[in-house]
Amino acid sequence: MTTSGTDERTALVTGGASGIGLATVHALASDGWKIVVADRDVKETVKAELGKAYPGRIRFAQLDVTDEHAVEALMAGTEAEFGSIRGIVCSAGIGRDTPFFDTTADMFRQIYEINVIGTFLVTQAGARIMAASGGGAIVNLASISGMRGNIGRSAYGASKGAIINLTKVMAVELAPYNIRVNAIAPGPVETPMAAALHTPEIREGWSRTVPQRRYGQPEEIASTIAFLLDENRSSYVTGQTLAVDGGFTAGGLIG
């Protein structure tokens, strides 16, 4: 993929109204991208903040990523308004910390539907547009819980493991269309979801086992996503899952 200027690049970010998704919108917009912020709930304060910071380059869309027809309509509308989509970031997702024996089938289905099926629907619809217009790049949000057996993450971890493998398959199948596909596997990050799910005991455990002894910031994940979407900086990177985790997946026994 080549572009004659940053103004030609349009990206769609699901879950773009908070946490890692919102930080990614800031990072990409600062790099000159036009952004479609797709989320189930976009607060007016977020609209005002982004609209003021990046006038004329942000569009907002309410989206349920599990609604196939809504996803297709959004992709078509984005292409009509902003031109060809060159970047997709699938940041929409939910999680739970629930012991294995307490995890119900309904919990599992809900997490899988949003995290995996939602990612599949968004990337498939977006990749069709990319394939017809010269290519692009996709970044899926996985997690270190898809790489390690974190306690309480049977449903969430399974969904993120599925995203990791989906990313590999997509990268292989879409390479002939000049579409790169990678995944980010964040460690513990200071997001609204972490604030809601992580008890003081959980936070202490993460802080003890992460070699850098801290939670990451959404901006640290977003800058890595921006790198993976940038054709000039990551043109030979595809099919990878990059753990941005303060060294957690590299660590063994931590003193």
DSSP string, 144-186: GGGTS--TTBHHHHHHHHHHHHHHHHHHHHHGGGTEEEEEEEE
Give pLDDT tens digits for 115-129: 999 999 999 999 999
Q: Phi first, then psi: give them for residue 34, nearest 5 degrees.
A: -85, 140
Neighbours of 129 (CB within 10 A): 19
Q: What distance separates the 2 farthest-apart alpha carbons in the chain? A: 55
pLDDT of residue 6: 42
Rounded to a whole number of angstroms, the distance between the first and last alpha carbons of the chain is 46
- Over residues 14-41, the pLDDT tens digits come to 999 999 999 999 999 999 999 999 999 9
Catalytic residues, by residue number, are 156
Residue 151's pLDDT is 87
For residues 224-229, average pLDDT: 98
178 torsion bin: left (phi>0), alpha (psi -120 to 50), beta (else): left
Torsion of CA 238, 118, 173, 1, to 10 degrees: -50
Q: What percent of the chain has pLDDT over 70?
A: 96
Go through the domains of the chain in sequence order and give each one's CATH number.
6-243 (3.40.50.720)
Question: Mean pLDDT across the chain, nearest whole number?
Answer: 93
CA distance readout (Å), 74 to 23, 64, 143, 161, 183: 22, 11, 26, 27, 22
- Give me 118's structure tokens: 């939602």
Residues 84-97: what's their mean pLDDT? 94
CA–CA gap between residue 35 and residue 124 (Å, rounded): 19
